[in-house]
Structure 1
Amino acid sequence: EDLITEEEMVVTFTHAGYIKAQPVTVFNAQRRGGKGKMATTTKEEDFVERMFCASTHAYCLFFSNLGKVFWQKVYQLPQAGRGAKGKPIVNMLSLAPTERITAVLPVRDFTEGQFVCMVTSHGVVKKTPVMEYSRPRSQGINAINLDPGDRLVAVGLSDGQREFMLFTRHGMAVRFPEAKTRAMGRNARGVRGISLEENDRVISAQWVDSSQVILTTTANGYGKLTEVDEYRRTNRGGKGVIAIQTNARNGDVVGALAVTERDELMLVSDHGTLIRIAINSIRRTGRNAQGVRLINLGEGEQLAGLALIADTEEEEGEQTDLPQ
């Protein structure tokens, strides 16, 4: 590793699971209003879901839906130019047939005071010191012990003082301080984050602040924006409050995201239809509102997923400013 030159890299990870790294120096600074440069190309049905800058000596932690974590140094990631899509992550990690990557976290150093926070579909939350993940194995290590049928749905890196919001398939949401969750070891199960009704499950978890708004979307293509402060703070483990109506018109909740007016969103249907929407084109409504149509779906077609789009063009201004 001492022979590896330390430099900043731009890492992109796509919805379909392709990853690559390229030097930040390929993005020359432009004056405000410049056209920008594409950071990557993707297949028509794919898009960049995660993009960040990290040193070649930093680590990428890959968390799977089965509760395992894998890691590689950034310099070990496939390097490719702007015109290449990268390599499939499944060819780089020892994943089981049903295993997929839920989250990618860049970590510069394994230091005290940082935590990996995890949320499962059964409503379990867990906070573990990042130091617990500093000794990897080629086959991956356990990040969380999951109950039968449970899956890891969200992972974030935090200082332990932020706020959680959990969202369920049947339209409920709970908001509570992360400090209400004690730190525990890597092999622990975690604690109850939300009490679920029968057949309900957590489909999204977000770390929020009052400057953001919450976007909730449903299977039939409807969605809405609601102020974070419309969701009152409650105790961890409660049933929560209604985030959006789940009725015959809307269907179940597919996803929820904490967003700002500057963000853009990609919606994906189960038939492969993609649509890109500016957040500022969606009107804000109250917590109990049904929402507005975000995507026109065909007969038998449903919304399958959503993600914020990482900005794959160079930012405007006098210096390169890529998303972290």
Structure 2
Amino acid sequence: MTPAVKAILDKYEGTSPAVKQKLARILMHGRLGGTGKLVILPVDQGFEHGPARSFAVNPPAYDPHYHYQMAVDAGLSAFAAPLGMLEAGSETFVGQVPTILKLNSSNSWATSIQQAITGSVDDALRLGCAAIGFTIYPGSDLIFESMTQIAELRAEAEAAGLATVIWSYPRGGELSKDGELALDVGAYSAHMAALLGAHIIKVKLPTAHIEQAEAKEAYKGTDWSNQADRVRHVVQSSFAGRRIVVFSGGASKGTDAVFQDARDVRDGGGNGSIIGRNTFQRSREDALAMLDKLIAIYRNEE
């Protein structure tokens, strides 16, 4: 174990050695292994957006093995996906990349802002996963049900020696569309994930917008135009950097924007990127080249 990884794990007081071992498996794997930085491939968009919207632009991506192989060949830290996708390659790729089983999912037709439980801790153990993943929607009228669900699943995962990753995406309720990416809302959402016991927190990169009227005084007088500073504040809100925080790649965008986001995450003290559509909606060659450069950025080589 490297000093960088040991320093991260030392911050997880009250966490079992078995869970720390799973976190170490992720932190020590791949081309960023030992650096304290992560690049994770998440492929749950088939549930969220449908297969055509997700994969038609790059047809090989309909095959779960394509994503496993991408994570392996790119030397990524982990691969996260729902039950069916992980099952479809679990024997072929056993031991080649740490996996995270996404336990809840939604679809683009639903009118309520909520996700259904689509996997279990037992499934994660059976598939040899390092962690479970779960999405919450702070702001949704159904957030309290989701909080209860992840509290129970997190306790079950901890007892089984698995780490927990929480996707914390503010949405619904009185939040405006701009508010979903607001700095104060994003920091609040990351803090909620930390309070719920997340070992790894996944959030979106925030804008400089401040949504909550009650919070504007606290943010007054500070220039939030620099994205790295906004990342730093989200990390600060995650127990002053005592929790691993990775940032979503978001909607498809140009490579220059992807690379600049990674630089800002790095410079702001974030732990890395969890990036899906911006990889698998490109050709394999282009995706591997992009991931190679992302890893170089997080290794301070670019």
Higher alpha-carbon Rg: 1
Q: Which has the higher strand share?
A: 1
Normalization by structure 1: what TM-score?
A: 0.28
Q: Which has the higher helix share?
A: 2
